[in-house]
Amino acid sequence: MQGCVVGTRLRYWLTLVSGMLECLCFAGVVFGYASLVFVLKDDGYFSDLCVSSPSDNNSTLPGTDCRGQDEQFSLVFTIASFLNNFLSLVNGYLFDRFGTVVTRLLGIALYTTGTLLVAFSSAALSVMLFPALSCITVGGILLLITNMQVGNLFAAHRSTIITLYNGAFDSSSAVFLIIKVLYEQGISLRSSFLVLSLCSIIHVVRTFLLMPKTHIPYPLPQHYTYGMDCGKANTYNVEQAERTRDAAMTTSQEFTGKENTTQEDGTQTEDTGKVMSFQSCVFSWFFLWHLLWLSIMQLRHYLFIGTLNPMLSRLANNNPNLVSQYTNAFAMTQLCGVLCAPWNGLILDRHKGKPRAAGESEQEVDLRSSCLSLFLTSLQCLLFSLCASIPVLPLQYITFVLQVLNRSFLYGGNAAFISIAFPARHFGKLYGLVMSLSAVFSLLQYPCFALVKGPLNGDPFYVDVFLTVLTLLVFIHPVYVFIHCKKQASSREKNSHTEEESKLAEAKM
């Protein structure tokens, strides 16, 4: 049995490390799109949309107007990023309903299809980029969703691991930089994407050996294991356990005549002792403000990534060597996402192991910790938007750093906040819903791009100013959570005083 326990702990660590590598090398590659566009332009994708024109500041080649080409590349990314989030609701339902194995196999199939489509595309078949990038994006987010539950294996560092995985997801955008560098060294785009396709074999093997069939429970039961059998270790049925726990709580409340307000895992409950319904979660202020918080910042990031190549071309006066230099710098900074993300997790987990105030639940402490995380993420986005609005090319180095820092905090903090503020059984659906609704909001990036390329004659200054002002709204979310935590603390203190007065009154009698 001791050997089995040691083997189980080793499996936990193998799952953690392999999951991080999976997210780092595959899950979010689409966000390195600026590097891929550089290669695609060189291969002549959508080049038929370039027309001859008098030399002007908007041309990507002397005497050539390629705004139509830029619009198509922007549209490819807009659709891919939209589906990345919009289908998250379906993805979350699939994960909650069918478990890890089914969800991962679907994600692997989509990812492999996408990489093969890119591998066998060409300038004559540029339209294949639309389904290809969309499949890669959706497949990647499915891999991320199934990996985030690994944080449940390490309760004391749960938020840190969730944010670490999201940081690895962001850093995987550097994969397209590697493809760009290899392309410049003579390795074709087809060869690079065929290698990515073959790597799907690794994902399949990991699915059956190092991932659970259904879900990883939280809190984690003793001797919990998954994958290959290990003696009589507990493989645990998450759904059955939750039903048993709910029944036990209801029985306990009927016996004691008291109504608890928190579950064993810290989630809020209704007066009946049951976990909050999915509908109650969706229509709560927490969810609505969180949706606004994510949607605005995500729009700012998507518009920046989708228009980075034409923006750099304009600021560099169409110097291809300078554009390549800054594109490489942007892609290199994306590698730092995996280093930045754990900082947010440490902020969220800093109270772990410390004594709590009398009557204070773990969820209350987690929410209090999330206030600082939400505020710092909002502040980073404001600074990033300000730098991106200033049309000075060297300043964009600072913009790149702020962008990757903010993205790391944004997506890791998004997943961590949902896991803190709402019941664990609704995580997949709520994560999917918030990503889906934010995707609808992110569609504004395309009309913004069309506005810049049309009436504004390629100058995005006024759009950038508008988005910077809009970013101020994201500060509502941390303020609301802070006020909520203050009210909870005040109410708990008031109840404590009332109980003490009651005890004193009984003692006098």
**What is the rounded CA–CA span in Å between residue 233 and residue 224?**
6
Q: Return mean pLDDT, the chain.
A: 81
Beta strands at 64-65 and 51-52: parallel, antiparallel or unpaired: antiparallel
Residue 494 makes CB contacts below 8 A (sequence gap 6+) with: none
Amino acid at 104: R
- ∠ CA 28-29-32, nearest 5°, is 115
d(CA 22, CA 203) in angstroms, rounded, equals 8
d(CA 453, CA 421): 41
Contact criterion met (CB below 8 Å) for 80 and 137: yes
- Give the number of residues written for the chain: 509
What pLDDT is recorded for position 245? Answer: 46
- Residue 376 near residue 347, CB atoms below 8 Å: yes
Q: Which are the contacts of 50, defined by CB distance < 8 A and separation ≥ 6? A: 60, 61, 64, 65, 66, 68, 69
Q: Is the pLDDT of residue 51 over 90?
A: no
- The percent of residues in the chain predicted with pLDDT above 90, rounded, is 30
Section 311-321 average pLDDT? 86
Report which of 189, 183, 23 is spatially closest to residue 119, judged by C-alpha positions.
Answer: 189
pLDDT at residue 379 in the model: 96
Amino acid letter for position 177: L
**What confidence tier does 504 reach under pLDDT thresholds 50, 70, 90?**
low
- Confidence class of residue 445 from pLDDT cuts 50, 70 and 90? confident
> What whole-number percentage of the chain has pLDDT above 70?
82
Q: Is the pLDDT of residue 4 over 90?
A: no
pLDDT at 62: 53
Q: Quick one: average pLDDT of 60-89?
A: 78
Task: Give the model's pLDDT for residue 472.
Answer: 94
- β-bridge mates for residue 65, sequence order: 51
Q: Confirm if 362 and 349 have CB atoms less than 8 A apart.
A: no
pLDDT at 380: 94
What gap in Å lies between CA 227 and CA 326, rounded to an integer? 44
Tens-digit pLDDT profile for residues 166-219: 888 878 888 998 999 999 899 999 999 999 999 999 999 999 999 998 888 877
Do the Cβ atoms of 241 and 174 come closer than 8 Å? no
Tell me what pLDDT residue 327 has: 84
**pTM of the predicted model, to two decimals?**
0.69
| pLDDT tens-digit map of 224-257 | 888 765 444 444 455 555 454 444 444 433 333 3
pLDDT, mean of residues 118-127: 92
Q: Are 72 and 49 in contact (CB under 8 A)?
A: yes
Task: Specify the higher pLDDT residue, 353 or 437.
Answer: 437
Residues 273-284 have pLDDT tens digits of 456 788 888 999
Which own/partner contact pairs does 119-122 have at CB distance under 8 Å and 24+ positions apart?
A: 119/189, 119/190, 119/193, 119/194, 119/197, 120/190, 121/45, 122/43
d(CA 108, CA 26): 10
For residue 424, is pLDDT > 80?
A: no
Lowest mean pLDDT among 248-257, 295-304, 326-335: 248-257
Q: Where is 51: in which H helix or E strand?
A: strand 51-52
